[in-house]
Chain A
Amino acid sequence: MATMTYLEAISDALREEMRADERVFVMGEDVGAFGGAFKVTDGFVEEFGEARVIDTPLAEAAIVGAAVGAAVVGMRPVCEMQFADFVACGFDQLINVAGKTHYRFGLAVPLVVRLPSGGGFSGGPFHSQSPEAWFMHAPGLKVVAPSTPADAKGLLTAAIRDPNPVVFLEHKHLYRRVKGEVPAGAYETPMTARIAREGSDLTVIAYGAMVHAALEATADLDGASVEVLDLRSLVPLDEQAILASVAKTSKVVIVDEANETCAAGAQVAALIAERAFEQLDGPIRRVATPDVPIPFSPPLEQATIPSVERIRDACRDLLDY
């Protein structure tokens, strides 16, 4: 075990997989000598050479499309979008080429697209998005979003080894803020939910950075015993874990950093309404970013992305119901 930041854990997973499997390579804008906009691939060119740490042109469609081409001839590409927001420019290749190929003619497309996502630091409308729901809606793509360093490493390893296209959401605000124990050597974290804290009065369901907000909001909530469920994977979605937690607590708050409409949390809410209605002891509550672009100026941004206070208020409300 070593203590690592979330960012170091991501680098560690990449490095371990590249050492162990020569089919694995990384590509993206400025990922080579510069080490990537956030330095995830810092030092990689020195260790693996330019052939496996590829500085690409500024061309997101071609990054994803080329990854598909490399994958179907036997490689395991890991692409970096400089910011998750720019995946919109490679959207078509991901949805229509990567996602549909196995269904159409049985050809596996093993690739990973890493998306530095999320807001909280004045990134503004084009450097703060949480676009995971776009991909949940596209058949054939897996979508994972770790919240801890240990899971970041294990889920990235699992994503690289998965025979499908995997969208890997790495939250920028966690990169250097979150530290934790990370096992040495390669390991896979399953694409299932994790109980971040056990509890019996209320469940808060979240993923990514919102897990930390949920834990903070409910650490001391007038003595209530609050369970926090970290989804970790959005596709596949761990329905059993969600339903089991709701059965235990009967009250649920779902937190999304993404825009509210059709967010991952909306799918979770629908699942609970459909399959756990009888077990509920109050309405399903959602806390999400309203349907606005993420604004730049701190007071505006803070008014949109769910805060610890908003989550706490929603939990108190529901506990009192």
Chain B
Amino acid sequence: MEALSPRQAEARPERAAADEPAHLTRADRVELLRAMLLMRAIEARALTLYRQGRVPGSFYDGFGQEAVSVGAAFALGPRDRLCPLHRDLGAHLVRGVETTRILAQYMGRASGVTGGRDGNVHFGDPSVGVMGMVSMLPDMMCVATGMAMAFKLRGEARVALTWFGDGATSRGDFHEAMNWAGVQRLPVVFVLENNQFAYSTPLEKQFAVDPVERARVYGFPGVTVDGNDAEAVFQAVRVARERALAGEGPTLVEAVTMRMHGHAAHDDMRYVPPQLLAEWAARDPIERQERRVAALGVDVEALRAEVDAEVEAAAAEALAAPLPDPADATRGVFAEGAPQPLGDGRAPWSGFAPAEAPA
């Protein structure tokens, strides 16, 4: 797949998917579906827990956007590093973070990924190569840029990838990271998750020119893909990663999708026209992948049931997990001893040569 110009891609959103199915085995395509099903089931369960008062604070989800985090993370190797955002639970799942630790995280339990120190999807499991996000958007673009700079400095064949929203493109860190990555031709992939809204703010109040078009002026390509097609997102990121590994620098991948829920659980999103939601509902990323996988003869119902059972068991375990010890609140502000850098994560894509597999 060559880099599509934004206009081309918009005209043919399905194209990337149909392009190179050769890169995805049957098992890969099922795995993409499984990760998306898992993400949705976890977030649905978490929303119920939230409404039952079991999830403190607020709750953000990526309902309808599963293809973006799952598809992009699926293209990453074990030694690549990721900075996911608040609608990117799928990235954590692809890397191998256990469901029960995620649900415990939402409920502020001691066994959650941050042990109750942070909530929601504000976490990263360093052992699987994931740096947790901060709320300030899109700070992680600068951090991913620095990871890529270190890879280049050390001559390592690795990439860094981060996601960010349409709203986040208005902040200065977007410009600083894009410019820096372009100047130094760094092996970084920027995935713009264009879900039509930033909280209640629609795209037309966010920018005069689609950010994907800005990539060119920073000196690297911007491509638009159908963000509701996991295979299309995968292909775009796979190509971007190869470009990065070949020393050709960054790529901006704009995944066009729709935030199907409110900004957070409290938001009834009255500002979204129902017609728009209906249109996007007809393009659900999970249903699309289910149709593909069913056509391969896979029992999709059985897969769903398996995922649901996994989430139920994980929820029971998380609900039984203890809350943190209040004495722990003041511990761990500072690191002691030799720093342990981010570790390697799960990289389930079949396309990775054994040499790229974790040691």
Contacts and interface: CB of A to CB of B under 8 A. Distances in A.
B117 A104 contact: yes
Nearest to A74: B341
B177 A96 contact: no
B173 interface: yes
B335 A69 contact: no
Given A57-B179, A65-B139, A104-B132, A164 B335 contact: yes
A33 interface: no
A51 B153 contact: yes
B342 A105 contact: no
A96 B126 contact: no
Contact of B145 (A51, A54, A66): A66
Contacts of A97: 134, 136, 139-140, 143
Contact of A73 (B81, B176, B183, B334): B81
A161 B160 CA distance: 25
B332 interface: yes
Contacts of B118: 104-105
A93 B150 contact: no
A104 B136 contact: no
A104 B122 contact: yes
A164 B339 CA distance: 9
A47 interface: no
A68 interface: yes
Given A59-B180, A74-B341, A25 B160 contact: no
A108 B334 CA distance: 8
Contacts of A106: 126, 332
A105 B126 contact: yes
A73 B147 contact: yes
B123 A65 contact: no
A105 B113 contact: yes
A237 to B, nearest CB: 13
A73 B145 contact: no
Contact of A96 (B139, B144, B176, B339): B139
B310 interface: no
B134 A65 contact: no
**Residue in A61, A77, A110 with the greatest tally of chain B CB atoms within 10 Å:** A61
Interface string A58-77: 01011011111111111101
A66 B338 contact: no
**Residue in B141, B143, B337 with the greatest tally of chain A CB atoms within 10 Å:** B143
A70 B139 contact: no
B184 to A, nearest CB: 8
Contact of A65 (B117, B145, B336): B145
A261 B131 CA distance: 36
Contacts of A103: 117, 332-333
Interface string A95-137: 0110011111111111000000000000000000000000000
A88 to B, nearest CB: 13
A62 B142 CA distance: 5
A70 B136 contact: no
Given A59-B180, A105-B124, A65 B143 contact: yes
Contact of A163 (B132, B149, B151, B337): B337
B52 interface: no
A105 B123 contact: yes
B131 A72 contact: yes
A110 to B, nearest CB: 5
Given A65-B145, A69-B147, A104-B122, A25 B134 contact: no
A96 B134 contact: yes
B308 interface: no
**Residue in A96, A102, A107 with the greatest tally of chain B CB atoms within 10 Å:** A107
A104 to B, nearest CB: 5
A259 B101 CA distance: 46
Interface of A: 25, 51-52, 54, 56-57, 59, 61-62, 64-75, 77, 92-93, 96-97, 100-110, 139-140, 142, 163-164
5 contacts: A61-B176, A62-B145, A72-B341, A100-B134, A104-B114
Of all A-B residue pairs in the complex, the 3 with the closest CB atoms, nearest first, are A65-B142, A69-B146, A66-B146
Given A62-B180, A68-B143, A97-B143, 14 more contacts: A59-B180, A61-B139, A66-B142, A67-B146, A70-B146, A70-B149, A72-B81, A72-B126, A92-B136, A100-B134, A105-B132, A107-B131, A107-B340, A140-B333
